[in-house]
Structure 1
Amino acid sequence: MKVAVADVGTNSSHLLIAEAHAGANQQGDFRVLDALKDRTKLGECLDAAGNMTPEGEHRLASALTRFKELAAAAGVSEVRVYATSALREAPNGSEVAARILARTGVYPAVISGEREGELTYLGVAHSVELGPDNVLLDLGGGSLEFARGGPDQAADILSLPLGSIRMTRAHLHHETRGNRTGIKAVQDAVRHALAPHAARFRIQSGTRVILSSGTAEAAAAVLSGREGSINGVGFSVADLAGLLERVRRLSPATRAKLPGLGNRADTIVAGLAVLHAALELLGAETVTVSEGALREGMLIEELSRFQSFSSGLSARQRSVLATAKRFGANLGHSQQVAALSRALMDGLIAAGVPFPEDARSLLTAAAALHETGQIVAQSSHHKHSAYLIRHAELRGFGPHDIERIAQVARYHRKSLPKPSHADFMTLPAADRALVSRLSAMLRVADGLDRSHAGQTQIHSLTRSGQGWTVQISGATPLDLAGARDKADLWTREFGGLEFKVMPAEKA
C-alpha cells in the first residue's frame, strides 16, 4: 500500500510518499518513495487580526497542487494533509481550508497542538531509540510542543505559542547584531509560559530528551560538522548555549553562510533561544535530535491503521479490498467510512434496532467500494460504483449479496431510494428496507469523513426523544457539515439525528 501525507506548518509544507514494506510484520514499517518541501512561509501571510491573507491562500494552494501531482505520479490517489499553527490560529482558518479543497481537491485538516504532539512523538519513536521515560520538544514556526511518554507513545502533551517565527516577530523583528535584549525577552517569554507546566516535563534521572525541528537539526549540523543525515546526533545544552552566543553575534547574511543554517538565518536566533530556555528550565543536560517528526507520525499511523484493518478481514472482505485497490479507491477514506458505518450500526443494535446477520458484512463492503465509480467519472460516480460492483466478481459473495452491496453504494450520495428507481424496485420488500437502512448509515458515515482527514470518531449513539444523538470527536467543520447534509435518509429511516461534538481534551 502506498500513502502520501503532508504537513502544513508556519514556515514550510512537507510531502512524504511511502509504501509499506512487502511482507512487513511490524506496523509502520515502510520505505520512502519521494519527498518534497515547499517554503510556503504562511507565517508572513497573516493580517493584523491573524487571518490568512489571499497571498497565503495562494501559496498553500500552489504547494498542495504540486503535492497532489507528485503523489498521483507515484500512484497515490490522494494526499492526507494536516495543518498546524498558522491555520489553526487564523480566525478564518476553516474557511481557507474549505476554499483550498474547492480549488485543489485537497483538504488541509487543521489539527490541535495536542494532536500534533501525539503524531510527532509517534514519528520520533520510529526514528530514534526511546527509553522508558522520554521528553520531546518539537519547535515549529508558530508553536512549541512538549510530549512525555514511553518507548511507543506519548502520555502527556502540551502545546504553547512559542514558535521561532512568532518569537522573532514579537521580540527580534528589529534584530541587530548582538541583540541581547531581544534574546532575553524571548527567553523570559518561554520561562513565563512554561513555568506553570514545568513539573509535568521535568527531566529526571534516566529521562531521554529528544528535539525534533528544523532548528534542532540546524543546531546539530553546525555543532557536529556533519553533512547529510543528523538523525540521532546528540549535543549538550551547554553546547547549545555556546552556539546561541556565537550565532547572535553574526548578521543574518553571515549566519546564512554557516553550513546547516541556510534559510533559517532570520529565525535561528529566536529558535535557539526558545530551545535553550525551555531545556534549561526543565533541567536537561544533553539532547538527541530526531529527523522523524509530524509527517513521519502521520505516515506510520496511516499505514498501521491499514495493516490492522486488512489483517482482520475475512477472505471475502479481502476480495472487497482487492477490488477497491484495483479501481483506485482511496483506501484510507474507505476504511474510515467503513469503521464509522459499523459504529453507527453497533449503536443502533445496542438500542434494540434489529438487522439480519449478514447486514454488517454488506455494509462494510459497500463502504469500502462506495467511491470506486470515480475511476469512470466524478459525475454520477455513485451510479458508476453500483455498476462496477455488479461486474467485479467479488469472491465469497453470491449474486443476491452483490446486488444489495451495489445498491447500498449507489445511494451513498444524491437521490434517496424511491419507487421510480427501477433497480431498487426489483428487490423484494425486505431487501428494499435493508438497503435503505444501510444506505442511511453509509451516507452519514461518508459525511463524517467529508474532509478525508480520517479524524472523526464516534463515541456513542443513543435515543433522544423521537430521534438520535451521536457523540463524536475529531470532526473538522467540513465533516460536521457533510454529516448534517447527508442525514436525510437517516431521518427518514430512523428519526432525527443530532450531532454532539465532544471537546477535544475530553475525547
Structure 2
Amino acid sequence: MTQPIATSPFENASVTAADASPRTVAVIDIGATSIRMAIAEIYPDGQSRTLETLVQSVELGHEAFDNRRLSRRSIEKSASVLKRYKRVLREYGVTSPKDVRVVATTAVREALNRLAFADRIFVATGFNVDSIDEAEVNRITYMGVMPHLRAHPDLADGKSIVVEVGGGNTEMLIVRGGNVLHSQSFRLGSLRLLKTLEGVRASAVRRRAMLESHIRRTLSQITDAIKRDTAIHLIALGGDMRFAAHQLLDDWDGNSLAEVPTARLAKLTEKLMSLSEDKIVKRYDASFIEAETVGPALLAYTLLAKHFDLPHVYVCDTNLRDGLIHDMAVGGSWTADFRNQIVRSAISLGRKFDFDETHARNVAELSRKLFDQLQDEHQLDSRHEVVLFVAALLHEIGMMVNVRSNHKHALYLIRYSELFGLSRDELLQVGLVARYQRRAYPQPSHEGYGTLPQQERVVVSKLAAILRLAIALDDTRSGRVREINCVADAKHLVINVPGLDDVSLEQMAMRENSGMFRDVFGLPVILRAGKLE
C-alpha cells in the first residue's frame, strides 16, 4: 500500500538579535525591464518595515531575449543606476555588504555574457550580483503568498494556481491545503511576447490574435500539470496585475488579496491592447515600464482565468523584494514548513520511480539523527541537513534505470528533476550525495564533482559519508534500527543501538560502508548493540 506523504521533524529556526534596535538593509532586483531597490528596517522579532523604494528602467530583457547578450551600453547603464543606488544607501547608513542583497532574474541569467555583467557591476559598485534561478524565485513566492492563502476562508479548499507573468518567464505554483503539488517555469513573458510582434505590420486585432496564439500554447502546458479534480482558484502576482487591480477596484488597500472580476479584467485588457504606450501613460498615469508590458501580461492572465471558467482572479501584492527582505530578516534560514514542502516533493519524485519507500524513509530518518548527533564533527548548517535528508530519500531511484549503476543514474535523475524549493546548485549537491552512497569515492574526474569549489566538495564528501552509515544501519531493510546514540572521541566514533541485542548483520554492513567516513573525518566507526553504559 502506498504510504501517505509525511514530512521530517524539522524544527522552526528562531531569529535572535543582540539588541532591540532595527537593522537597515536593502534589496536590489535587476529585472528584464527595470532595476528596483527597496530599503527596509528589520527588527529583532523578524518583522520589517519598508522605508523607500526606487525604480529605474533598463532594457536588459529586450537584448537577452533577442540575442542572448547584454550590450555594453546596457551594462554601463545598469552600473550607473547601481552607483546612484549606492549613494542613496550611504545616506541611510547602509555600507556593509551583508546588509545589501543584489539579485538578477531571467534576463541576466539567460545572457551569455552574464559573468561579464556581474564582474562589471562588482568593479563599479562592489555589489555581488546573484543570478537566482526559478527554484529560488518559487521559494520566495511560496513564503510570501502562503500567509495570504491561509488567511482567506474561500481558499482553504480546492487548488490555488499561483501565477506570475514576468518579462521573460511565467512562474507557477499549484498549492492545495498548504502543500505545493507542483511548481514550474514557462518561457512565456510580456517581453518575449512583444518580441514575436517585432517587424510585424498588422492591425491591432491581428496582433492580439498572434499574442493569443503564443499564450494558448503555454496554456496547454499549464493545464497538463493541473488535475481538475476540485475547485480551482487563480492567484495572480506581479506589477501588471497590481496595476489592473488598482484601476478596477477603488477600495483595494494594496495589502489584502484583491478579488478582480474576470469580465472586468477582460474589458480593461481589451482597452489597453488597443492603445499605444504613450496613450497608456497619459490616460492611466502609468510609467513607461508599465505601459510597455501591461497589455501582453494582462492578456495572459485573462486567457488563463477564462480557460478555467473562473469568475474572478485574486491579486496578491507579494513581490520579489518583499520576499528577499523577509529572507534577510530570518538570516536565510528555511522554515520547517518550507523544508517539509521540499521533502514532500522528493517523496513524490521517488514514487514516480517506484522507489522502496519504507527503506528510503528509514535511511532518511537515520541520516537526520546522525547529522544531528555528529554536529561537532561536520560543522554544517540546517540547509545541509535538508540536502542529506533528500539525498537519503532518493538514493536508490536509479534502480529503475539500471541496478548495477543505479548510483550514477540517481545523480542524473535528481540533477535534472524539478524538486520544489531546491536550486540547480542544491540539486547537484543532492545528486552527488546520492551518487556516492556506494562504490567509488568522490574523484575530480567525476561528472559534476570536479567543477565544485573546494568548500562544496567537502560538504558533498561529509554528507555522503554520513549517508553510507545510515544505509548500513538499515542494511536488513527491516527498519529495526530506529534509535542510535553516537559517541565520538579522538580515536573512534561509536554508534550504540539501544534495544537490540544482536546487530551482527549491521556490523558487517558498517565495516563495508564506513571507510569513507573514516577517510573524511579521521574516525573509524564501531557499531555496538545494547544500551549506552
Q: What band does the TM-score fall into relative to the shorter chain?
A: 0.5 to 0.7
Aligned to 1:256, what secondary structure does the other structure show? helix
- The answer to whether 1:115 aligns with 2:136 is yes
Distance in 1 of aligned mates of 2:222 and 2:170 = 13
Matched, 1:90 2:81: no
Paired residues for 1:119-130 under 5 Å? 119-126=140-147, 129=151
Letter in 2 for 1:34: E
Question: Counterparts of 1:150-165 in structure 2 under 5 Å?
Answer: 150=176, 154-165=180-191
- How has the CA–CA distance of structure 1 residues 198 and 99 changed in structure 2, closer, same or farther, with 3 Å as cutoff? same
Q: Provide the C-alpha distance between the structure 2 equivalents of 1:150 and 1:190, rounded to a whole number of angstroms.
A: 25
Aligned residues: 354
**Can you list the C-alpha shifts for 1:54-103, whole angstroms capped at 9, x where unaligned?**
12212322333344444453446222222111012222223422332343
- Residue among 49, 70, 77 paired with 2:96: 77
Instruction: Give the alignment's Cα RMSD to 1 decimal.
Output: 4.3
Pair 1:15 & 2:37 matched: yes
Q: 1:308 to 1:119 in 2, by over 3 A?
A: closer
1:140 equivalenced with 2:166 (yes/no): yes
Compare 140-149 and 105-114 and name the one that shifted more.
105-114
- Aligned partners of 2:307 and 2:229: how far apart in 1? 13
CA contact (8 A) 2:27 2:37 kept: yes
Matches within 5 A, 1:430-469: 458-459=429-430
Q: Distance in 1 between matches of 2:217 and 2:273?
A: 22
Alignment-derived partner of residue 52 in structure 1: 70
Whole-Å separation in 1 of the counterparts to 2:452 and 2:123: 17
Higher mean Cα deviation, 235-244 or 195-204?
A: 195-204
Find out whether 1:170 has 2:196 as its counterpart: yes
Partner of 1:43: 61
2:297 to 257, 271, 285: 271
- Cα gap change, 1:242 to 1:164, in 2 (>3 Å): same
* Residues 106-505 of structure 1 aligned to structure 2 (within 5 Å): 106-126=127-147, 129=151, 131-132=155-156, 133-150=159-176, 154-171=180-197, 179-201=204-226, 205-225=230-250, 229=254, 231-259=256-284, 261-263=286-288, 264-305=290-331, 458-459=429-430, 480=452, 483=455
In 2, distance between residues paired with 1:277 and 1:33?
A: 36
Q: TM-score, normalised by structure 2?
A: 0.56
Deviation, 1:11, is: 1.0
Shift of the alpha carbon at 1:217?
1.2
Bigger shift: 216-225 or 151-160? 151-160
Whether the 8 Å contact between 1:21 and 1:29 is mirrored in structure 2 is yes
Q: Is the 8 A contact 1:121 1:297 kept in 2?
A: no
- Asked if the contact 2:164–2:172 (Cα under 8 Å) also holds between the matched residues in 1, the reply is yes
In 2: Cα distance, 1:467 partner to 1:267 partner: 48
Q: Is the 8 A contact 1:211 1:288 kept in 2?
A: yes
Q: Which amino acid aligns with 1:124?
A: V
Q: Which amino acid aligns with 2:188?
A: L
CA contact (8 A) 1:172 1:270 kept: no
Distance in 2, matches of 1:106 and 1:88, equals 17
Q: For structure 1, which segment, 31-40 or 148-157, has the greater mean C-alpha deviation from structure 2 after superposition?
A: 148-157
SS in 2 for 1:266: helix
Aligned-residue offset at 1:116: 1.7
Contact 2:65 2:192 in 1 (8 A): no
Q: CA deviation at 1:275?
A: 1.7
Contact residue 172 and residue 183 of structure 1 kept, 8 A: no
TM-fit CA distance, 1:302: 3.1
Please name the residue that 2:125 is paired with. 104
Counterpart Cα distance in 1 of 2:439 and 2:229: 50
Measured after TM superposition, the shift of residue 192 of structure 1 is: 0.9
Tell me, what secondary structure is at the counterpart of 1:14?
strand
Give the whole-Å Cα distance in 1 for the aligned partners of 2:258 and 2:59.
27
Following superposition, the deviation at residue 291 of structure 1 comes to 1.5
Sort the Cα spacing of 1:199 and 1:90 in 2 relative to 1 into closer, same or farther, 3 A.
same
Shift of 1:21: 3.4
* Cα separation, 1, equivalents of 2:239 and 2:79: 23
In structure 2, relative to structure 1, the CA distance for the partners of 1:302 and 1:494 (3 Å cut) is farther
- Structure 1 contact 191–281 (Cα < 8 Å) conserved: no
Q: Does the 8 Å CA contact 2:65/2:168 hold for their aligned counterparts? A: no
Tell me how far 1:243 sits from its aligned partner.
Answer: 1.0
* SS of equivalent residue, structure 1 residue 208: strand
Shift of 1:10: 0.5
Contact 1:18 1:31 (C-alpha < 8 Å) held by counterparts: yes
Q: Does the Cα contact within 8 Å between 2:37 and 2:54 map onto a contact in 1? A: yes
- Structure 1 unaligned residues grouped into runs of 5+: 310-346, 365-452, 496-507
Alpha-carbon distance between aligned partners in 2 of 1:307 and 1:193, rounded to the nearest angstrom: 34
Asked whether the 8 Å contact 1:17–1:34 carries over to 2, the reply is yes
Distance 1:471 1:3 in 2: 41
Once the 2 structures are TM-superposed, how far is the Cα of residue 167 of structure 1 from its aligned partner? 0.7
Return closer, same or farther for 1:260/1:454 CA change in 2, 3 Å cut-off.
farther
Answer yes or no: is 1:61 the counterpart of 2:87: no
Deviation at 1:211, TM superposition (A): 0.9
List alignment gaps of at least 5 residues for structure 2: 1-22, 336-366, 382-422, 463-517, 521-533
What amino acid is aligned across from residue 218 of structure 1 in structure 2? F
| Partner Cα distance (1:482, 1:58) in 2 | 33
1-structure distance, mates of 2:198, 2:256: 30
Q: Which amino acid aligns with 2:126?
A: G
Equivalent pair of 1:120/1:295 in contact (CA under 8 Å): no
1:239 Cα deviation after fit: 1.2
Structure 1 residues 467 and 219, CA gap change in structure 2 (3 angstroms): closer
Closer/same/farther in 2, CA of residues 484 and 157 from structure 1, 3 Å limit: closer
Q: How far apart in 1 are the matches of 2:59 and 2:75?
A: 11
CA shift, 1:147, in A, is 1.1
Judge conservation of contact 1:211–1:289 (CA < 8 Å) in 2.
yes
Write the distance in 2 (CA, Å) between the matches of 1:172 and 1:227. Answer: 36
CA distance in 1, matches of 2:424, 2:227: 34
In structure 2, the CA distance between the partners of 1:285 and 1:118, relative to structure 1 (3 Å rule), is: farther
Distance between the aligned counterparts of 2:457 and 2:54, measured in 1? 36
Aligned amino acid, residue 304 of structure 1: V
- Tell whether the 8 Å contact from 1:127 to 1:291 is kept in structure 2 after alignment: no
**Structure 2 CA distance, aligned partners of 1:149 and 1:472?**
35
Matched-pair contact (CA < 8 Å) for 1:144–1:163:
yes
